[in-house]
Amino acid sequence: MEKFINSLPLIVVVGLLVIGFALLVKGADCFVEGSSSIAKRFHVSSIIIGLTIVAMGTSLPEAAVSIMASINNNNEIAVSNAIGSNIFNTMVVLGVCALIAPVLVKPETLKRDIPLAVLCVLLLIGTIFYDHVLGRVDGIVF
């Protein structure tokens, strides 16, 4: 597929990129809305929906890109995609939401989620600095 796309004219490749992005956005929207609707019917709280179903739905495209990059030995893309998407989500997405409407954060969310996020980041940093490789055992741990 890569050879085929690389042989196409630039305007066609840009068109495919735009079409793929539009389908990705709509597909993620359908996934999130559908799974959130199912969770609400089972009376699952909004925080659980956000931490699991919505987070998974918005991360699946990034996971697909990182997996394909790893399979194709583009490890830099896999790592930078994961780190960059988290920075973008935290800073830009949350910042834009705050520009539109105040974002209220419950104290119990801060007490639970922030320490867990910091612990995960420290675990990742320690793993990378230990041997500069994320292997199968690290994948199982994460």
Q: Tens of pLDDT along 13-50?
A: 999 999 988 998 888 788 778 877 888 888 888 778 77
In a 3-state reduction of DSSP, which class is residue 26? helix
pTM of the complete model: 0.58
Tokens of residue 11, six digits: 């305007």
User: Cβ contacts of residue 81 below 8 Å, gap of 6+?
Assistant: 62, 65, 66, 69
CA angle 37, 40, 43 (to 5 degrees): 160
Burial 27-43 (b: 16+ CB within 10 A, else e): ebeebbeebbeebeeee
Instruction: Note the pLDDT of residue 9.
Output: 92
- Nearest CA to 61 out of 83, 81, 40 is that of 81
Q: Tens of pLDDT along 49-102?
A: 777 777 777 777 788 888 888 888 888 888 888 888 888 888 888 899 899 999
pLDDT at 108 over 90: no
